[in-house]
A and B are shown apart, each in its own frame.
Chain A
């Protein structure tokens, strides 16, 4: 675990935080990161809380979602650790977790969809890039993976 960072890619990929939304997203994100041979990988699933209103999905289902996403990550990085965060603000949760685990970088894969879809689901990419206090890596979409 402590032997990360010794590889030639330097410290940038020493400990990568991968925020993932669901199984499919997790699988694709992990595959996109795999060729760069990161040191340590930590997966993060954020459950959006309303702080006063019920969640979009029941707790049991949110946990299922997280578990499925982590399993997909472990299919590529068997030693990846996983984290579930509960927060009203997904961005906050990502940055907070990155600080907690002292990640060297946050890697994500921008998801498809036009402007309307981005607007409806809240465009995280821009917010992440503008607000992060550490390197943010945009992984190639790599649509070749069928």
Chain B
């Protein structure tokens, strides 16, 4: 069903995707800012818009590649977090969120200007002792309206969206064509030089914010491999062309000084030029266009910001509570409410130019990071990074995209840079104060540095680990079933949790017959409840011996074994310590194949104890390498530290000298060089059984995927384990899947 469902979830065709980009971008940027731009930069304002489009295009190419590789909600934030880790993820997420809020506030102030011009309202309204600029008042009311629309989830149709975009394109096309006939190079106001041109680019860059929004709805686009790059790149090209033509018209079709005069008179330059070119009807058409454009941009940005909140919440950069869906409206109302409050605040607090430039500067930060994210993915050769679209001329395109984005920031007014810097600093503080303890995503860059510790300069390695997320506390989940094994399992779990400064999470899973509803069971199974309480209280006192915090849960479930996996996922466990044997967790579910499927996707590390008493005095670790033996080595080291256990490493090899070599390097790599090592030849099972006679605990890594499941169900127990008389601890670590799952799952 899910494959089917995924297809059905995709209802955005190529045109719809394109109009989302164009519709979001054509907004207050082109309807409000050209006057300011020409006043500041002369006819170079045309170049400002073209340069802005160029930077946007470079980033659009990168966004297309990332979007086809990871069609995930959250767009730019998501890619940066996955590539550069949560510190930069935090910066990108907050910049994206606040950047969109500033941009939305700017759109709404533009909307206010247009409404004021249409209704011809006094520019200052006096209400008793208060005097309010009417533009801001209208902007405030308008924003409140669009926030409400998104809050209750009333939706315009795709047709309406297409209609609006078509009307806008039509109005601007007529405007530029007529303008072209009247254009006279003599009218061009002289260019003001490079520096004002770049400063202007920084202001008007807010006109190019929509294209990344397309990647954030990538999951909903039909055939995204093809349509996503087309929509992203196409929308930037279309919009850049229109902007350039509009600016040329405005600079060349009216006399020099006309724009400056209109600006001084406080009227909207685009509309005034329209009045000259097309008469009152032209002015009216442009007024209408400005109204539609600013409104649809603001509306789209409010929704887009909730997508970023969703992705940030999923990674616990912000609290996932933010994403709660309204029971009635089906909208992420909290995210929309908070974004809305920010927008209203910004409208009251900032001027048009300040809002536009802050929106620009924060987005330039994101776009710079987005390009770096692409370079990181390519250079660290992340497995399964398989974009169906690849940027041309790599690495020039993303490198230029990153460089130009960051460089343009330099030319923006110092006040805005300082404010933007403050917000970025705030995001960094936020990361260390809040997100670092919670988020788990490490980022491809960190993984890359980690796997090459030796080849990297120490300063880089230590810098990387100082920003490394703690991923919340280390959580050891202990599913309890048989009271006989409770104490041993909790002791083992507590020892590990203590060494890792973590917590023990004891879960008693009560199996309920299929015929009984779970709700009924949880209310009526009084005896079960009492039993559960007793078991968990015992667990608590065992954990207290180790001075480890413990959490207790009772779960009523129709399933037993499967529930452990669910609980591990839901509780976000780092390690599960469970019993293994006929009296531990009953028989598996009815469907064998479904279970195989489950166990091949372990949600975290698993330790299964075949319990014959927990005595960690002499620990034997047979190893043949592999991820699960890494886990058995970690466990052995933990036991060594906690109980001063004597650890013996055992390797069975065909050739003794090869074996010695393997053993030495393995022990060294796993920080166990102080352990006794034994290399033997012969039958693996017999050797292990013989060696186990001198041990109190055997810790063995599962050698093949799914071994754990077979052991737990007793269908194919390792021959060696049968003969061993002490306790056996089976360790299984999910294989390379994990990275893939985290990235692309």
Q: What residues make up the interface of A, taking CB atoms closer than 8 Å to B?
A: 21-22, 24-25, 27, 31, 34, 47-63, 65, 75-78, 83-86, 88, 111, 113, 117, 120-121
Contacts of A27 in B (CB 8 A): 519
Whether B264 is near chain A, meaning CB under 8 Å from some CB there, is no
Tell me which of A31, A78, A88, A121 contacts B558 (CB under 8 A).
A78
Tell me which of B16, B323, B332, B519 contacts A52 (CB under 8 A).
B16
Tell me which of A34, A59, A113 contacts B220 (CB under 8 A).
A59
Q: List 6 A-B contacts (CB under 8 A).
A: A52-B162, A54-B12, A56-B332, A57-B310, A85-B8, A117-B328
Of chain B, the residue at the smallest CB distance from A118 is B328
Q: Are A120 and B517 in contact (CB under 8 A)?
A: no
Q: In the complex the two chains form, what is the Cα distance from A121 to B219 in whole Å? A: 25
Known: A21-B330, A52-B162, A111-B328. A88 touches B219 (CB 8 A): no
Q: Are A21 and B327 in contact (CB under 8 A)?
A: yes
Q: Are A51 and B11 in contact (CB under 8 A)?
A: yes
The proximity string for B residues 108-125 relative to A, scoring 1 for CB distances below 8 Å and 0 otherwise, is 000000000000000000
Contacts of B2 in A (CB 8 A): 63
Whether B19 is near chain A, meaning CB under 8 Å from some CB there, is yes
Whether B41 is near chain A, meaning CB under 8 Å from some CB there, is no
Q: Are A53 and B517 in contact (CB under 8 A)?
A: no
Of chain B, the residue at the smallest CB distance from A49 is B11
What's the count of A-B pairs with C-beta under 8 Å?
121
Of chain B, the residue at the smallest CB distance from A112 is B328
Q: Are A76 and B330 in contact (CB under 8 A)?
A: no
Question: Which B residues from 146 to 161 make CB contacts under 8 A with A?
Answer: 152-159, 161
Contacts of A47 in B (CB 8 A): 9
Q: Are B159 and A61 in contact (CB under 8 A)?
A: no
Q: In the complex the two chains form, what is the Cα distance from A83 to B5 in whole Å? A: 9
Q: Are A120 and B327 in contact (CB under 8 A)?
A: no
Contacts of B8 in A (CB 8 A): 84-86
Whether B1 is near chain A, meaning CB under 8 Å from some CB there, is yes
Contacts of B153 in A (CB 8 A): 48, 56, 121
Whether B468 is near chain A, meaning CB under 8 Å from some CB there, is no
Whether B692 is near chain A, meaning CB under 8 Å from some CB there, is no
Of chain A, the residue at the smallest CB distance from B313 is A61
Contacts of A55 in B (CB 8 A): 217, 220
Q: In the complex the two chains form, what is the Cα distance from A81 to B203 in whole Å? A: 55
Contacts of B314 in A (CB 8 A): 60
Known: A53-B156, A57-B310, A78-B558. A86 touches B11 (CB 8 A): yes
Q: Are B327 and A22 in contact (CB under 8 A)?
A: yes
Most B C-beta atoms less than 10 A away, residue of A22, A65, A78: A78
Q: Are A53 and B158 in contact (CB under 8 A)?
A: yes
Q: Are B5 and A52 in contact (CB under 8 A)?
A: no
Contacts of A59 in B (CB 8 A): 6, 9, 73, 219-220
Whether B690 is near chain A, meaning CB under 8 Å from some CB there, is no
Q: In the complex the two chains form, what is the Cα distance from A113 to B326 in whole Å? A: 13
Q: In the complex the two chains form, what is the Cα distance from A47 to B155 in whole Å? A: 13
Q: In the complex the two chains form, what is the Cα distance from A88 to B330 in whole Å? A: 14
Additional pairs, 15, CB under 8 Å, beyond known A55-B220, A58-B73, A121-B328 = A22-B325, A34-B517, A49-B9, A51-B159, A53-B16, A57-B332, A58-B74, A58-B219, A59-B219, A61-B73, A61-B323, A65-B330, A75-B519, A78-B514, A84-B1
